[in-house]
Structure 1
């Protein structure tokens, strides 16, 4: 079996886990359940995986982490735009 197929299946499964959460955040206009620390750590970690994928020219890493970055950015934007004064962390 081609290793890229395993990578693509893993990428589809892990990346698609963000989709319902991102949809819910957009629909409810609330991301208060997400801490800023978690968002920042995840965004930096996924961005580094994205760069690693680019350096290796590995399509599964590039696609999965590119989509995940967009989801995290969306969640962060919603969290910032619709923040409440008590939403500090």
Structure 2
């Protein structure tokens, strides 16, 4: 395992890290590790948005038809207000 040292971290960031670590039941080091790991994951392979992006990329893009738009109809609000 490797170590990393972060210099010149401002007090507000350090305080927020400590608060977030407490909320998640982790040490500050564990919280920082979790934040780094989550931010460096391959976002293209997680969640439905990533799967949709991967599918579109594999198909060389997706052409969508623009839906037909109809003007809004009048609503009779007499007696409602």
Q: Same fold (TM over 0.5)?
A: no
Structure with the greater alpha carbon radius of gyration: 2
Which is helix-richer, 1 or 2? 1
What TM-score, normalized by structure 1, do the two folds share? 0.28
The structure whose RCO (Cα within 8 Å, separation 6+) is larger is 1
